[in-house]
Amino acid sequence: MPLGGEVFARKASGLTREAGLLDTTYFGIMNNAVPVSIWLTMAGFAWLPGANLTIASVLTLVLAVCGFALVWGILGGSMPRSGGSYVYNSRIIHPVIGLGVSFTNAGFVMLAWIWVLAPWVGEVGLPIMAGCLGIDPARVEWFTSGWGLYLVSSIVNIAAFFVVLSGMKTYFKIQKVFVTWSLVGAVIAGIILTATTHDKFVAIWDKYALQFGSLDFNATVAAAGEAMGGIPKTWNWRSTLGLMLPISWIAVYGYIITFIGGEVKSPRKNIFIAQVLNAVVSIAFLLWVGSAFFRALGWEGVHAVSWIGEEGLAGYTFPFEATYINFASMIVGFNKVLGFIMAGSFIVADFLWISFSYIAWSRAAFSWGMDRLGPRWFTDISPRFNQPVKLMLVMLVLSQAALTQYAMNPEYLGSISVEVLQLISVFGVTAISCMIFPFTRKTKHIWEASP
């Protein structure tokens, strides 16, 4: 197919602008998944001993706001179309580049995210919930691997499909509830940890250690320190810079707003503001909860429980996971209401990631079709659901096949591989597009060319 002429001859898409500033900001915060990203960041101390959370967070925030948010905000406001990076790269650089990068991200990466993240509900979310509610971990063990994990992952995946299928207006209502829940869960954990002194935490730990036959706090720290080859006495730059990778999960993924650019009200203003706000709000949560976690557990304590959470430890026999959520629950005596809210915040935040994969894939492929770079049926919008249902069904079938593979052969480091691929491909190429955007004559008519 010639890459000129009618490639950009787009007609009305059929998608409607239903997202205001709050919806758009929440959409970005949703993909930062605050409770999950805090867990992931704190786990990083097992492999990056001596990292300075404050310095790493501030550096990441500066780069996110002055780099990622600026790039996606400028391009999103200039070309407010649904479709993600494809819309920008195809018009600024070349349709082939735009299509290739978009397929890598919206096609392969979004499928890979479902492959990795849907199982996290069974592998991580359910054990956290069981620990907070005082449920015997053996009762949820079946759901953490094999066919049990496949069942949980499938329920999550299919439910996410139907949430998006219900239409964006319904989706945004569900998103508001779930994102609010995820933030409330983080707030509760933050308040509990902030109100707990180190001495009080040690006393609570030792009380439950006696009850469950586990090592006391000081013995646990000593054993974990020996297992991980020693805990540094102070911070270092190497680990601090390394910690910026897991922190990026909570700072840079607001870029997803670009996938619904054509559905945002007042896009020139709201897209840019939302890109900045979602990064600032999410990093603020990480700094608060993370700092409170350090205050309660101490420098060595955080390193120790991070190691236990990743590798386990002989002598740690608490019947719950070594996460900030479970320790916050322990502090309040395993209050079931607070525990359910905090553990549930992890699960709903993870769930929304799966929903987004359907939105990203369908919007990108829809955009290819609108530019005559994909089959005609890519642009079919269901009059009943106001959604590209056929495209969503393609992702559902492929993701179910991928989940079968993961359940039988888990890839525990798959998330890091997927993120690095995404950073190099879509983020890298789109940054180049933004740099040359002001100097490219063919983009002067961009507003009219992408109605």
Q: Is the separation of the CB atoms in 55 and 247 below 8 Å? A: no
Average pLDDT over residues 395-408: 94
Q: What is the mean pLDDT of the chain?
A: 87
Please return the burial class of 312, using the count of CB atoms within 10 Å of its CB with bins 0-12, 13-18 and 19+: exposed
Structure tokens given for 352:
């929304």
Under the banding of pLDDT at 50, 70 and 90, the label for residue 451 is very low
Q: Is the separation of the CB atoms in 371 and 95 below 8 Å? A: yes
* SS3 of residue 264 by DSSP: strand
The one-letter code for the residue type at 405 is: Q
Average pLDDT over residues 7-17: 47
Q: What is the CATH number of domain 21-439?
A: 1.20.1730
Q: Give the residue among 288, 283, 279, 257 at the shortest CA–CA distance from 64.
A: 279
Q: Is the separation of the CB atoms in 97 and 89 below 8 Å? A: yes
Distance CA 261, CA 266 (A): 10
Length of the chain: 451
Q: Tens digits of per-residue pLDDT, 142-194?
A: 999 999 999 999 999 999 999 999 988 888 899 899 999 999 999 999 999 99
For the chain, how far is it from start to end, CA to CA, in angstroms? 23
Would you state the pLDDT for residue 12?
Answer: 45
Q: What is the DSSP letter of 44?
A: G
Distance CA 261, CA 79 (A): 8
Span of 5-19, 89-103, 121-135, 436-450 with lowest mean pLDDT: 5-19
In the block, tokens 């890979």 appear at 112
Report in angstroms the alpha-carbon separations of 150 from 126, 147, 331, 353. Answer: 14, 5, 33, 17
* SS3 of residue 300 by DSSP: helix
Backbone φ and ψ of 19, nearest 5°: -100, 120
Distance CA 346, CA 324 (A): 11
Most confident of 4-8, 33-37, 375-379: 33-37
Would you state the pLDDT for residue 449?
Answer: 47
Span of 53-67, 158-172, 211-225, 413-427 with lowest mean pLDDT: 413-427
Interacting residues of 42 by C-beta distance below 8 A, sequence separation 6+ = 290, 293, 302, 306, 323, 324
pTM score, whole prediction: 0.88
Structure tokens given for 208:
């439950």
Would you state the pLDDT for residue 333?
Answer: 95
